[in-house]
Structure 1
């Protein structure tokens, strides 16, 4: 299996929020250079914040290769070993994007929760198995790619993948 790339689904509300904040930060950053006295540090920090938000909005995607699922969310990246995945669930809740014991790298409320084991006995905060929320445009094609890489994961009646018992 070669490397498959899946673009992220981005809800219009999230797009509006991120793009609006990026424009606001960049605009305020530029204004900081022309205020008497010029505040260069504030201007640079605001421009960098705007660039960070813009990069998250433009460069969020997911790739699957022979051994890993790679998640890229702007300058933030995460790698999940395929062998460690024990379940992938379809989700559709805005609340999952706001809280919980998982890494949120999704820009849509229609996402996939990837649950996996790290090393035996190693959990986040000593309590939770690691989980990552992502939002590929075509969730079914993403699940098919995972299923072809991990035949021991079975498709449930709800369209989720879980480890065969």
Structure 2
């Protein structure tokens, strides 16, 4: 299998929020340069914040190859080796986007929760097993590609992926 690219699914509410905040940051950033006492640092910081929000909105995707899942969310990225994945669950909850002990690289309420182990068996903050929430546009296609790529994973009774016994 070659490297497969899966774009992120973006809910309209998240899209509206990110685009709206980016436009506001750009507008206020440009306005900062034209105040009677210009605030160049504030303007530059607002422009950079707008660029960050736009890049998260426009450049979130997931790559799958023979060795790893690479997650990119704007300028941020995360890599998970396939041999470290212990469980993949289909999820559908807006609350997963707002809280919990997992990294959120999802822009939709419908996604996949990937749980994995670190080579050193360390937990995050000593409490939580590492997990990442993603939202591929075609969740089932990504799920099937992950199942065919991971030799140590099998379909569980509830329709998720788990380690083979």
Distance 1:20 1:98 in 2: 19
Q: Give the alignment's TM-score, normalised by structure 1.
A: 0.97
* Deviation by residue 1:32-53 (Cα, 9 ceiling, x = unmatched): 0000111000000000000000
Aligned position for 1:45:
45
Distance 1:144 1:46 in 2: 41
Q: Give the alignment's TM-score, normalised by structure 2.
A: 0.97
Unaligned regions of 5+ residues in structure 1, if any?
A: none
Query: Displacement, 1:125?
Result: 0.4
Aligned position for 2:59:
59
Instruction: Kindly report structure 1 stretches of 4+ aligned residues shifted beyond 4 Å.
Output: none
Query: Displacement, 1:128?
Result: 1.1
Number of residue pairs aligned between Structure 1 and Structure 2: 165
Q: Tell me the secondary structure at the aligned position of residue 23 of structure 2.
A: helix
The answer to whether 1:150 aligns with 2:150 is yes
**What is the aligned-residue RMSD (CA, Å)?**
0.8
Aligned position for 1:131:
131
Q: Tell me the secondary structure at the aligned position of residue 38 of structure 1.
A: coil
Distance 1:120 1:162 in 2: 20
| Contact 2:83-2:152 within 8 A present in 1 as well | no
Unaligned regions of 5+ residues in structure 2, if any?
A: none
The answer to whether 1:18 aligns with 2:13 is no
